[in-house]
Structure formats: C-alpha cells, structure tokens
C-alpha cells in the first residue's frame, strides 16, 4: 500500500487529520528521512577485527550490539 493511500485511509478513519499542521502530511513525514549512515575507516576496521575474533554466536552479538 502506498504511503499516500495509507495516510488517506487513516484520515478517513479518524486516526490522522490531514488538516492538522500541514496540507500534506505525507510530505512532512518524507522530509524527516535521515541520510544514509556513514562510518569512519577506523570504526570499520574495529568491527572487522571483532568479527574475525568472534565465534559464530559472537558475530551475531557484535552486529546486534553495534546496530548493524
């Protein structure tokens, strides 16, 4: 389902008012999208080193801990 269709559906159901705050709530939401994350070379090297040291279970824990 497209975002505009979902917003219209919610507005119709009373969950969201398209009149509150702006004339286009979809545009308001889309403008808040964060740019892609950027990582420094040192951080990448530390993650790769940790990945090489970790066992199978440790790799998953590393990724979860770092939010990757």
Residue 40's pLDDT is 92
The residue written with tokens 């440790």 in the block is 58
In this prediction, residue 56 carries a pLDDT of 79
Q: Read off the pLDDT of residues 13-64 as tens digits, 9 standing for 90 and up.
A: 655 444 555 566 666 666 667 788 888 999 989 988 888 888 877 888 888 8
Instruction: Please tell me whether the overall predicted TM-score, pTM, comes out greater than 0.75 for this model.
Output: no
C-alpha 62/C-alpha 56 separation (Å) is 10
Spell 46-62 as b/e; 16+ CB within 10 A means b: eeeebeeeeeeeeeeee
Which of the 8 DSSP states describes residue 37? P
- Domain segments of the chain: what residues? 1-33, 36-68
Angle at 30 between CA 63 and CA 36, to 5 degrees: 35
């Amino acid at each position: 389902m497209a975002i505009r269709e979902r917003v219209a559906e919610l507005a119709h159901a009373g969950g969201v008012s398209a009149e509150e705050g702006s004339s286009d709530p979809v545009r308001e939401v889309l403008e808040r999208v964060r740019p892609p994350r950027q990582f420094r070379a040192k951080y990448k090297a530390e993650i790769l080193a940790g990945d090489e040291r970790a066992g199978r279970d440790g790799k998953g824990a590393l990724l979860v801990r770092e939010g990757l």
